[in-house]
Amino acid sequence: MRFLWLTLFILLSPSPTIMAQDAPASLHFKPRDHALGDVHPFFHDGECLLYYLKPGKYESALARSHDWLRWTETPVTHDAVKAGDWMSPYYVLGVFHDPAMKNFRSFHGHAQGRMVSSESRDLRHWSCAPKEFHIPAAGYYQRRRDPFVFWIPEMKQYGCVMTTWMKGRPKETCGAVSLATSPDLKQWKDHGAILDPGNIGEPECPQMFRLDQRWYLLASIYDRAVGWPVYWSSGSPLGPWEKEPAGQLDGKDLCAAQIAFDGETPFLFGWIPLKPARPGKQDWGGHLALPREVHTLPDGRLGTRLPAKLVKAFERLPWQNEPGAWNSLAAEFTLSIPASAGENRLSIAPLGEIVLKRDQLRILDASGECWSALPVDLPAARPLEVRLFIEDNIVEIFIQDRYSLAARLPVSTGPLRFSTQTAGISSMRFSEWRLPR
């Protein structure tokens, strides 16, 4: 076998954190003085409004961006809530437009599994909605939270999916998703648990959306930590929904991922843990991952790819065929998986290694421990287009406009040595990530 060795020395140093839109920016956004968790994107007037929770008391916060790379932290305010009020504390999470009331609304979970609402005219200052805008509690669960409200065209009603812990079951197998529907956001019909596999933890931050006449249910299954994004598919919001997920959109380090539609196109946003994470040893909150565009494949499954907006931005980078000493790395190349070898291994020492097999994509650390994995279906001996982004110890890879995988590896310092031991890699180009002014 002929071996192709490519060795690139790229000096990686910690990147600055975004302070404001006109400050030096890192590739992965983190607010000035805290980590970012459980992001809830909403598109309005050409801008992405990213509502998220702060660690600690889990207060709601907001960052805004037009290009999805430079983010401006924006205060979120709320009318005073009296102690003991049925709305206290308040949150701004998933946001949607209520055309009947000509305002914006956000539901959140409250005591006994009741779902209550905040409302706003300008998306910055929020008030407690009247008590009639709530989803009543029910008796079949121990806990219910994480409501997501959406429109169901064929029913001409709103739907609300919620994370549900079914009564009488341990945390490891209690997980379900329940659904309620309403014509007016006031009177709700509870359909109970529409998805109840009986063998999973809580499916956090569930969402339901329609693509190409199919309905998809997205959630991150809790497994001693915030889980990776998986999805189910059905012909109707009411089901039937299979017990097993239809697919997985990323690995465990894309946490509590959420979809928002910019026009007709869905985009996936999630956070990467602040420190390398194992199940049960995960720091809650971290950096914002690069957004992913979600699209349907011919067989009805979902794929992810780098959004065209970001591809266009990256095209303006100072690309070159030789490496340099950079703070962060963007790389594009073509590779194939040799039929004889069955895999292609990309060394990113001292950080670790990326292993591509026909049925699995993995990101490993220097000791060979896997920190993120994704089942894939890659053709052998055919060119695959790859985009790779590395910043400090964050690695994100996009393959063939179909798969994406993020990981945070244990911190390493010194030059990055990039090499492959198998033939079939070409058309390589590299750039330092520089935010256009």
pLDDT tens digits for range 340-377: 778 899 988 889 999 999 999 999 999 999 999 999 99
CATH number belonging to the domain at 8-12+310-432, selected among 2.60.120.10, 3.40.50.300, 3.30.460.10, 2.60.120.560? 2.60.120.560
Query: Can you give the pLDDT at residue 302?
Result: 98
Nearest-CA neighbor of 396 among 415, 409, 410? 409
The structural architecture, per CATH, of the domain 37-302 is 5 Propeller (2.115)
Nearest-CA neighbor of 348 among 388, 377, 378? 388
Tens digit of each residue's pLDDT (9 = 90 or more) over 39-78: 999 999 999 999 999 999 899 999 999 999 999 999 999 9
Nearest-CA neighbor of 133 among 188, 54, 53? 188
Confirm whether 8-12+310-432 and 37-302 share one CATH topology.
no
| In the chain, domain spans | 8-12+310-432, 37-302
pTM of the model: 0.92
SS3 269: strand
DSSP string, 23-64: S---SS---SSS-BEEEEEEEETTEEEEEEE-TTT--EEEEE
- Would you state the structure tokens that stand for residue 415, as one six-digit string? 């030059």
Asked whether the predicted pLDDT for residue 247 surpasses 60, the reply is yes
Residues 6+ apart with CB under 8 A from 365: 276, 351, 352, 371, 409, 410
* Averaged confidence pLDDT in the chain: 89
Q: Is 220:245 a contact under the CB 8 Å cutoff?
A: no
Query: Can you give the pLDDT at residue 1?
Result: 32
Nearest-CA neighbor of 228 among 291, 259, 271? 271
Query: Band of the pLDDT at 134, cuts 50, 70, 90?
Result: very high
